[in-house]
């Protein structure tokens, strides 16, 4: 009699595990669908916002010589660079899922940008010339407080280029408490910018989980920031 009992218990245990897995998978699919809908909504808002944003240029020459021309981008530490120029710009939802768009933060030297490109990459500091070559369409978001912006830029550069975050790999994580993500061995582009302002400038940016790159543009007024210009449009 013991054998059939064990077999029955094993059968029901298997059923429970299958049910739990299906519920978990279903919940994950619902989360993904909700996120994609929210992303589409935010991208529509973004399109409306940039219609009134002034056009700017980046010549790729000595950045200090561009200050006299109001339309030329004269970078400042802490500037957030948002671009839709990624592998997801064809808006094909069957092949392009997850976070679309990309962001980086201008370093204190104003000559480089801290960012992490995609899965398989580590955090990196690239020149502005490289950024605009790779991402021809870019929207510049600037903080009204230059001290906070500079502190955020310094934190991102110190931590992700020379510090403990230099070896972190790319992976989008979902955690309601973004402060906990600093202890992970992974990061993603918009998380770097969020952490830079939180740990470097003491400012908690109220953005969705995970952080959508486009929200730095859409929510700029709520964070004492403004959209300076759009380049390459």
Assign 96 to helix, strand or coil: coil
30: in domain: no
Position 15 in a domain = no
What integer pLDDT is reported at residue 97 of this predicted model?
A: 46
Per-residue model confidence as pLDDT tens digits over 84-103: 877 554 444 443 444 679 99
Cis peptide bond N-terminal to 210, omega within 30: yes
- Based on the structure, what is the number of domains in the chain? 1
Whether 227 is covered by a domain: the verdict is yes
Q: Is residue 29 part of a domain?
A: no
Q: For residue 36, tell me if it sits in a domain.
A: no
The domain of 193 spans 42-231
Residue 160: exposed, middle, or buried by beta-carbon count in 10 A (0-12, 13-18, 19+)? buried
Q: Could you report how far apart the first and last alpha carbons of the chain are, in Å?
A: 76
Spans of the chain, pLDDT less than 50 = 1, 8-30, 62-68, 89-98
Tell the burial category of 63 from Cβ atoms under 10 Å away from its Cβ (0-12, 13-18, 19+).
Answer: middle
Q: Would you say residue 188 lies in a domain? A: yes
Specify if 209 maps to a domain.
yes
**Does residue 31 fall inside a structural domain?**
no
Neighbours of 58 (CB within 10 A): 22
Domain CATH code at residue 190: 3.90.1720
d(CA 203, CA 148): 8
């Amino acid at each position: 009699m013991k054998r059939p009992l064990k077999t029955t218990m094993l059968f029901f245990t298997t059923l429970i595990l299958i049910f739990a897995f299906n519920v978990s998978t279903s919940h994950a699919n619902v989360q993904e669908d909700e996120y994609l809908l929210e992303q589409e909504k935010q991208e529509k808002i973004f399109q409306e916002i940039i219609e009134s944003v002034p056009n700017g240029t980046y010549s790729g020459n000595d950045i200090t010589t561009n200050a006299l021309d109001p339309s030329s981008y004269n970078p400042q530490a802490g500037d957030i660079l948002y671009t839709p120029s990624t592998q997801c710009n064809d808006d094909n939802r069957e092949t392009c899922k997850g976070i679309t768009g990309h962001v980086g933060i201008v370093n204190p030297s104003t000559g480089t940008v801290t960012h992490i490109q995609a899965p398989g990459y580590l955090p990196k500091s690239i020149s502005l010339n490289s950024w605009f070559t790779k991402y021809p369409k870019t929207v510049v978001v600037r903080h009204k407080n230059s001290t906070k912006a500079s502190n955020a830029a310094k934190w991102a550069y110190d931590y992700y280029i020379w510090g403990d975050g230099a070896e972190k790999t790319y992976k989008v994580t979902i955690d309601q408490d973004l402060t906990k993500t600093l202890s992970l061995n992974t990061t993603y582009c918009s998380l770097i910018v969020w952490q830079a302002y939180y740990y470097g400038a003491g400012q908690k940016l109220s953005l969705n989980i995970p952080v959508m790159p486009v929200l730095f543009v859409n929510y700029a007024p709520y964070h004492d920031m403004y959209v300076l210009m759009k380049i390459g449009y």
